[in-house]
């Protein structure tokens, strides 16, 4: 059995930090580095209940009996290019995740959630690298206002008809979590509405 012995914070940045965990296994100590958006006291290695860091929203609307999905195309600095994804963002301190989802949706797309519901409970995004966790939502939306982007955000909004989604997913570059949510939504709607 692995035993956590010690946690050391290696960096002090505003949104993301590196930590070193020392584990003991069979009398030997091992170091494991990971990143976290949490303060040291809220790390998942210490707490059993994950802290919700991120929300991701799948926005859609219906027009003339067809379903359209609202995507974003955003420059992602760690990979130095634009990729398609679903609206997402950080949960502010003391903010309810659903409120964060509605806020991020409106800021990034200009669409307002008429109906919103949680599709996935709080889950770790990349448990081998980070304790960052996410709650996912679907939202039926309507156009409300212009985007309200902050800082260095560069986001283009794209509406795509559901029947064209799978081809679009295959041709364009997406982040994996968005791609999986979109495929699940496509097949759920196909079964529900008997779409060919």
Six token digits for residue 124: 């770790």
Per-residue pLDDT of 92-132, as tens digits, reads 989 999 999 999 999 999 999 999 999 999 999 999 999 99
Indicate the pLDDT class of residue 195, thresholds 50, 70 and 90. low
C-beta of residue 58 within 8 angstroms of C-beta of residue 86: yes
Q: Which domains does the chain have, with CATH numbers?
A: 3-40 (no CATH), 54-193 (3.90.79.10)
Question: Does pTM top 0.85 for this prediction?
Answer: yes
User: Using an 8 Å Cβ cutoff, are 132 and 125 in contact?
Assistant: yes
Residue 168 CB-density burial (10 A; 0-12 exposed, 13-18 middle, 19+ buried): middle
- Whether 133 contacts 53, CB under 8 Å: yes
**Cα 61 from Cα 125, distance rounded (Å):** 27
| Exposed / middle / buried, residue 92 (Cβ in 10 Å: 0-12, 13-18, 19+) | exposed
């Amino acid at each position: 059995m692995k035993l956590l012995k010690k946690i050391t914070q290696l960096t002090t940045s505003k949104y993301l930090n590196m930590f070193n965990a020392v584990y003991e296994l069979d009398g030997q100590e091992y170091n494991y580095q990971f990143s976290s958006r949490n303060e040291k006291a809220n790390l998942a290695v210490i707490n059993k209940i994950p802290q919700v860091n991120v929300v991701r929203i799948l926005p859609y609307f219906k027009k003339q009996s067809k379903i359209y999905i609202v995507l974003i195309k955003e420059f992602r600095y760690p990979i130095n290019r634009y990729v398609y994804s679903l609206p997402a963002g950080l949960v502010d301190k003391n903010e309810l995740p659903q409120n964060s989802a509605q806020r991020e949706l409106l800021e990034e797309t200009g669409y307002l959630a008429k109906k919103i519901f949680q599709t996935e409970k709080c889950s770790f995004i990349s448990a081998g690298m980070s304790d960052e966790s996410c709650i996912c939502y679907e939202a039926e939306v309507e156009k409300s206002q212009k985007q309200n982007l902050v800082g260095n955000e560069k986001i283009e909004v794209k509406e795509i008809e559901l029947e064209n989604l799978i081809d679009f997913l295959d041709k364009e570059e997406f982040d994996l979590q968005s791609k999986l949510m979109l495929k699940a939504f496509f097949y759920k709607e196909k079964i529900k509405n008997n779409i060919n």
